[in-house]
Chains A and B, each alone.
Chain A
Amino acid sequence: MVTTTRRRETARARTVAVVLFVVVIALFALTLSYGDFQISLPDVVRSLFGLPTPAGVDYVMHDLRLPRASVAALAGLAFGLAGAIFQQLLRNPLASPDVIGVSQGATTAGILTSMVLGLDGGIVSAAGLIGAVLTALTIYALSWRKGVGGYRFILVGIGIGTVLTSITSFILTRSDVKIAAEAMIWLTGSVNGRTWDQIIPLAVAVLILVPLAMILGRTLTGMQLGDDLATAFGVHVQRSRFALLIVAVCLTGMATAAAGPIAFVAFMSGPIAARLVGGGRPVLIQAALVGSMLVLVSDFIGSHLLGSRQFPVGVVTGVIGAPYLLWLLATANRSGRGG
């Protein structure tokens, strides 16, 4: 009996992953082909493989839409995966890196390097990464008391995040309003006008960190049982938790540096994936794909469906995410999982 249920669950998880992957590819193709300058799908494929295409297609593809679609897909993947890791490690659907201060660390570091030091490109990526890692280590160290309790970690994170937010606000009052307004668009999360030197660091990070997360994630099933049981099963709880956390933090930092802290993607992806898969199992790969899907869809809505004005993707995810968040808070509290 048990084995049949488990086999059925595994099959469903696999089907969900495949369907999500197909949806992400379709959205990716849609982003490449749709716009003021329509490109037919055969031309999209032709241009991707370097075959001859009608005039203008190569420019629109390689300089505008491919960077945009790539950064949307990659950042979504990174945020979705990082959020799911946090939520499963801390056993709380609300504890994603954007709620508990890690994204704020990357953001403040990014603002600091770009606005105060006037740097750009790869250095901002590095700063975002360092900011996220330092923030997470600070939260981890400050919440350490014979081990790191989930709730202590969340509360300390919220406190640290509040300080980082006020530092960001401070920097924004110190600059010219035009620059500050541009920075605000990045602060919301945007995939518009990205260049390859911003995307390649993220792509490399995703290529390394996603497989690593999958390998480490196998211990998650054990950890979800609770620290005591997991230790009894022989999982080195604190060490595996720490390694996974670092992977999630690096993903958050790199994605934030490339696209800004796109609101709620890390937060929403895990619960949506869990709902699709069912059965309360870790859903890392599905959450990553949901993240990609969310960013691609939201960017499409923000750039084509909201009238003449283009909104950055973070506004759309925020407006979609906010009601969902409130609903999730209410139900999590009602079922006693909110704390």
Chain B
Amino acid sequence: MLATGLVVIAAALAGAALLSLAIGARDISFGTVLHALANPDPNSTDSLIVTESRLPRTIVGLLAGAAFGLAGAVIQGVTRNPLADPGILGVNAGAGLFIVIAISFFGITSLTGYVWFGFLGAAVTSVLVYTIGSIGRGGATPVKLALAGAAVTAALISFTTAVLIVDVDAYDQFRFWQVGSLAGRGIDIALQGLPFLVAGAALAFYSARALNALALGDDVATSFGQNVIVARLIAAGAVVLLCGAATSMAGPLVFIGLVIPHIARAITGPDHRWLLPYSMLLAPLLLLVADVIGRIVARPGEVQVGIVTAIIGAPIFVAMARREKLAEL
């Protein structure tokens, strides 16, 4: 049953990818899209749009979406926290600050150059937020983590602003990254992020069984012979690799990593061996559909995908926050 579901979602994802190739400021028929993919023609405008602009963008969307979905499922599993999400936890703001430093102090102007800084910033911040949020009684509870994330975000934004106020050129670049978008991403961005994403995904799937054990509580997990600390570290490594690379590629996309695992969990139940692949396929589906919506609502311009996902995701976040027993996972 669950395997069939995966096939259905994969088919839907292929459909969304096709839509993402066909729809935009200039609509291109599906036949032309497929033809352009099979036989790229450098003299045809339609073919160029598909292969040079929309194909890389769609690939970045697929990769970043899969990464956010997986990272969200792992982070929620390992923290046993239903509100865990890279955006809420301040990881984006960390990536943002480091990217600003790259642009302003090191004069790095290409996305392929500052992707590394975003990566480092995401890693540093996630460790910081999780450490602060897990101090004290009860470990990393949802409220403590969310507050630590919001507070660290505010702190990092102050530093980011201090740099940007002096450097208007850096600000001009940064504001387009900050909003969260797939527009203008080339295939080089996807290739650069790919090794991190593959490594992160491998770690994530490797820890699926351990996450199932952790879900029963540390004591039970230990009695099953699970080394709790090692399992946490591997899972955290997966999250940092996935979030860091995806955030650098597509910018800070909030709520995807939060919402998708909940939808996936409704289908699969709590078993991470199914939850992870479902999250990995559902998230890019949402991301590509959101990106296409963003291109349709503001023709001939577009609304960046970060805005669309924020508006779709917020009601779900609020619904989660209203639930009576927040910490049950």
CA distance A143 to B137 in the complex (A): 25
CA distance A264 to B164 in the complex (A): 19
Residue-wise interface mask of A (145-161) relative to B, using a CB-CB cutoff of 8 A (1 in contact, 0 not) = 10000011011101111
Known: A181-B171, A184-B161, A311-B165. A329 touches B318 (CB 8 A): no
Q: Give the interface segment out of B38-46, B139-147, B190-198.
A: B139-147
Q: Closest 9 interchain pairs by CB?
A: A318-B158, A322-B155, A339-B143, A333-B136, A155-B321, A159-B317, A166-B310, A333-B135, A169-B179
Residue-wise interface mask of B (292-329) relative to A, using a CB-CB cutoff of 8 A (1 in contact, 0 not) = 00000000000110110011001001100110001000
A156 touches B303 (CB 8 A): no
Known: A159-B318, A311-B165. A169 touches B306 (CB 8 A): yes
Instruction: List which B80-137 residues lie within 8 A (CB) of chain A.
Output: 83, 87-88, 132-133, 135-137
A160 to chain B, nearest CB (A): 7
A325 touches B146 (CB 8 A): no
CA distance A264 to B161 in the complex (A): 14
- Which listed residue, A94, A142, A264, touches B318 by the CB 8 Å rule? A142
* Residues of A with C-beta under 8 A to B176: 173
Interface residue? A338 (CB, 8 A): yes
- Of chain B, the residue at the smallest CB distance from A312 is B165
Give me the interface of A with B, judged by CB distance under 8 Å: 92, 94-95, 98-100, 142-143, 145, 151-152, 154-156, 158-163, 166-167, 169-170, 172-173, 177-178, 180-181, 184-185, 187-188, 263-264, 267, 309, 311-312, 314-315, 317-319, 321-323, 325-326, 329-330, 333-336, 338-339
Residue-wise interface mask of B (157-184) relative to A, using a CB-CB cutoff of 8 A (1 in contact, 0 not) = 1110110111010011001101110000
Interface residue? B280 (CB, 8 A): no
Which of A100, A160, A161, A188 has the most chain B CB atoms closer than 10 A to its own CB? A188
Which of A98, A163, A336 has the most chain B CB atoms closer than 10 A to its own CB? A163
Contact size range, B: 35 or more
Known: A162-B87, A169-B175, A263-B158. A156 touches B310 (CB 8 A): no
A177 touches B168 (CB 8 A): yes
Interface residue? B233 (CB, 8 A): no
A184 touches B165 (CB 8 A): yes
Interface residue? B282 (CB, 8 A): no
B151 to chain A, nearest CB (A): 5
B139 to chain A, nearest CB (A): 10
* Residues of A with C-beta under 8 A to B137: 336
- Which listed residue, B149, B158, B303, touches A314 by the CB 8 Å rule? B158
- Which listed residue, A187, A319, A339, touches B141 by the CB 8 Å rule? A339
B311 touches A319 (CB 8 A): no
CA distance A150 to B317 in the complex (A): 17
Interface residue? B152 (CB, 8 A): yes
Interface residue? B242 (CB, 8 A): no
Interface residue? B150 (CB, 8 A): yes
A164 to chain B, nearest CB (A): 9
CA distance A311 to B164 in the complex (A): 11
CA distance A143 to B321 in the complex (A): 8
Which of B148, B151, B254 has the most chain A CB atoms closer than 10 A to its own CB? B151
* Residues of B with C-beta under 8 A to A312: 165
Interface residue? B154 (CB, 8 A): yes
Known: A166-B254, A173-B179. A336 touches B136 (CB 8 A): yes
A339 touches B144 (CB 8 A): yes
- Which listed residue, B143, B179, B310, B311, touches A155 by the CB 8 Å rule? B143
CA distance A92 to B146 in the complex (A): 13
CA distance A158 to B84 in the complex (A): 13
B136 touches A159 (CB 8 A): no
A325 touches B147 (CB 8 A): no
A177 touches B172 (CB 8 A): yes
- Supply 7 A–B pairs (Cβ within 8 Å), ascending by A: A154-B143, A155-B143, A162-B255, A172-B179, A173-B179, A322-B155, A325-B155
* Residues of B with C-beta under 8 A to A319: 158-159, 162
* Residues of A with C-beta under 8 A to B254: 162, 166
- Of chain A, the residue at the smallest CB distance from B141 is A339
B148 touches A329 (CB 8 A): yes
Known: A159-B317, A188-B161. A100 touches B307 (CB 8 A): no
Known: A162-B88, A173-B175. A151 touches B143 (CB 8 A): yes
14 more CB-based (< 8 A) A-B contacts, given A167-B307, A334-B136: A155-B142, A156-B318, A159-B321, A162-B88, A163-B311, A166-B180, A166-B254, A167-B310, A315-B165, A317-B158, A319-B158, A330-B135, A338-B144, A339-B141
- Of chain A, the residue at the smallest CB distance from B319 is A142
Known: A159-B318, A326-B155, A334-B136. A94 touches B171 (CB 8 A): no
A163 touches B314 (CB 8 A): yes
A309 touches B151 (CB 8 A): no
A271 to chain B, nearest CB (A): 13
A338 touches B310 (CB 8 A): no
B132 touches A329 (CB 8 A): yes
* Residues of B with C-beta under 8 A to A339: 141-144, 147
- Which listed residue, A94, A145, A159, A334, touches B135 by the CB 8 Å rule? A334
- Of chain A, the residue at the smallest CB distance from B324 is A145
- Of chain A, the residue at the smallest CB distance from B139 is A333
B318 touches A160 (CB 8 A): yes
CA distance A159 to B159 in the complex (A): 22
A40 to chain B, nearest CB (A): 33
A180 touches B175 (CB 8 A): yes
Known: A263-B154, A333-B135. A185 touches B321 (CB 8 A): no
Known: A162-B87, A184-B171. A330 touches B132 (CB 8 A): yes
